[in-house]
Amino acid sequence: MGMSGRTALVTGATAGIGRVVAMQLAREGAHVVVHGRDAERGATVVKEIQAVGGTAQFVQADLADAEDVQRLADVAGDVDVLVNNAGIYKFLPTKDMSADLFDLHMDLNTKAPYLLVRALAPGMAERGHGSIVNISTLAAAVPTAGTGMYAASKAALEQLTQVWAAEYAKDGVRVNTVAPGPTRTPGTDAMDPATLQAVADTTAMRRIAEPEEVAEAVVFLASDRASYITGALLEVAGGRPAIGG
């Protein structure tokens, strides 16, 4: 129970990768602030955590709204671990992307993590410890037609991660990135299965990940087991093709 006495805020914990991260952090002993928009699914995750002996609370907020992001930070209070997981991904050629969709990617994938770090990292620094894990994507490192807006919003997050690592290292706050490859979640279940498998085929392992496999890496970086790791990017993506041959 390496995280007992710690509080962890996981954004987008009502589904997919975030839900499993929340469960695994709770199993490690952390009190988990489960964030999302869907109150019913939020209550279910809280119950699932309580059923395995953990503690959790649900906080509803729309991260596309800067005021709601601030309210989430205020309600979450003194968190020791922040996992910036909530995100959206739409894959379309640039000519078919609307300005509104551009704003939504930036607001959710880049600006909301920025505002949460701005609000919560100073408290971590004051207390002398904290760990922030930002969820990016393999797509940020592999330029692919149709992924532009999503990849750009996450590449910005990766850059910010390194800036924050530099800003907060002296205060005992570590900031790292996990970059998953294609992972089975409600979000990807809504995609054309052939498209998702085509992405998986670009990895050395040629398979889609389970969210548990991504969550293991997130929880490791969030924990003291990663005490000398900051500013790192951990790909959980089945290997680049050059590795698998």
Question: Residues in the site for ligand NAP, rule: CB under 6 A?
Answer: 12, 14-18, 36-38, 41, 62-64, 85-89, 108, 135, 137, 180, 182-183, 185-188
**Distance of closest approach, residue 13 Cβ to ligand NAP, in angstroms:** 6
Asked if 168 is an active-site residue, the reply is no
**Distance of closest approach, residue 109 Cβ to ligand NAP, in angstroms:** 6
Phi and psi at residue 2, to the nearest 5°: -65, -15
Nearest CB to ligand NAP, comparing residues 129 and 240: 240
Torsion sign over Cα 168, 170, 172, 177 = positive
**Distance of closest approach, residue 6 Cβ to ligand NAP, in angstroms:** 21
Nearest CB to ligand NAP, comparing residues 124 and 178: 178
Which residue in the shown chain puts its C-beta closest to ligand NAP?
A: 16
Phi and psi at residue 217, to the nearest 5°: -70, -40
Nearest CB to ligand NAP, comparing residues 130 and 180: 180
Nearest CB to ligand NAP, comparing residues 137 and 161: 137
**Distance of closest approach, residue 216 Cβ to ligand NAP, in angstroms:** 14
| Amino acid of residue 29 | G
CA distances from 81 to 22, 39, 97, 99, 208 (A): 11, 22, 34, 33, 27
Q: Work out the burial of residue 47: count CB atoms within 10 Å of its CB; fewer than 13 is exposed, 13-18 middle, 19 or more buried.
A: exposed
Identified catalytic residue from 114, 150, 168, 228: 150
Residue of 68, 70, 81 lying closest to 121 (CA atoms): 81
Number of residues written out for the chain: 245
Active-site residues, by number, are 150
